[in-house]
Amino acid sequence: MARFENAHWMFIVNPAAANGKVGRIWPGLEARIAERLQLYEVSHTRYSGHGIELARKAVQSGFRHIIAVGGDGTNHEVTNGILQQDLIPSRDIFYTLLPVGTGNDWIRTHRIPRQLDAWLDMLEEGFLTVQEVGLVRYRLENEQSQRYFVNVAGMAYDGFVVHYGEKWKAWIRNRFFYLLLILRCLFLYRLTGGIILADDKRIENRFYTINIGICRFSGGGMQLVPQADPRDGQLALTYAGPVSKMGVILNTWRFYNGSIGRHPKIELLQARTVEVGSLPGEKGIPLEADGEFLGYSPAAFSLVPAALTVIVPSPE
């Protein structure tokens, strides 16, 4: 571990991830980690948003090597804590995820292994990449708020699914249950009229889905923004106008193989900034980021370049 030989690690563990699985298996994981790492401390999240606070406090306490233990939701919170703190540049912190949660889409882009021994080997090798992140400003209970995202943000149907799914988290244990949730929401969701401003392009329609991506995988391996690249200086934008429910079902396979842009009602773009608003008289368009429900439109997306340093496997 030449690069990180004297590193002092902070593990931020979400014991509630994967319906409590992480809390049950963490003692065994830690015993194996302790055989390979000499200096580390552990903090456990206790409530929603706690990972943000713990990551901020870790940086303030001098930690520069931070690991989240959980899934995409834990990843979202801990990276937000790193990005929101203003003590040092966020890219000066070395970060990675130990993926043991239900959803693990962000790791697909960086090829971060799920198997613990391979993951520990990755940590010892110490290869790094620096990725861009997204910043979204949005409405929550008639107040303006903002949040960073490191993977994919979704609006319209995607935001609706995440919001609805919060009531059924205990049942979402794998891709099969997630697909059942998606199908249920397909028959509940009602399209909302909206306006997208992508740089200098204006799109007005009734949108089935709107996705803004930094990385390309979301929703259990779907590629809704297959054009996304976390280092190309662009937000990936995918949007779909009115699509029939049967049309969605018959094209589900396209969500996974990256051919979604071949559907005649789906457009793939890239932009530096994206704004999404509702048409007059229409309700707000729901918003999620990295699988976490945030709020509603109006929403403004921008890019933060070279903001997150990630520990990854050696290049192929």
**Per-residue pLDDT tens digits for 254-301:** 989 999 999 999 999 999 999 999 999 888 999 999 999 999 999 999
Q: What pLDDT does 197 receive? A: 98
Residue 250's Cβ-count burial label (10 Å; 0-12, 13-18, 19+) is exposed
Q: Is the dihedral of CA 156, 158, 159, 161 positive or negative?
A: positive
Give all domains of the chain, ordered by start, each with its CATH number. 9-125 (3.40.50.10330), 133-304 (2.60.200.40)
Q: What pLDDT does 198 receive? A: 98
Q: What pLDDT does 2 receive? A: 61
Entry pTM: 0.93
Q: How far apart are alpha carbons 76 and 12 in whole angstroms?
A: 12
Q: What pLDDT does 179 receive? A: 65
Q: What pLDDT does 6 receive? A: 87
Q: What pLDDT does 183 receive? A: 73
Residues of the chain with pLDDT under 70: 1-2, 168-179
Q: How far apart are alpha carbons 240 and 263 in whole angstroms?
A: 9
Q: What pLDDT does 177 receive? A: 65
Q: How far apart are alpha carbons 116 and 29 in whole angstroms?
A: 8
Q: Where are the beta strands (DSSP E) in 167-262?
A: 192-198, 201-207, 209-213, 235-240
- In sequence order, what are the residues at sequence separation of 6 or more whose Cβ sits closer than 8 angstroms to the Cβ of residue 123? 1, 4, 36, 37, 96, 311
Q: What pLDDT does 51 receive? A: 98
Q: What pLDDT does 175 receive? A: 59
Q: What pLDDT does 38 receive? A: 87
**Per-residue pLDDT tens digits for 58-72:** 999 999 999 999 999
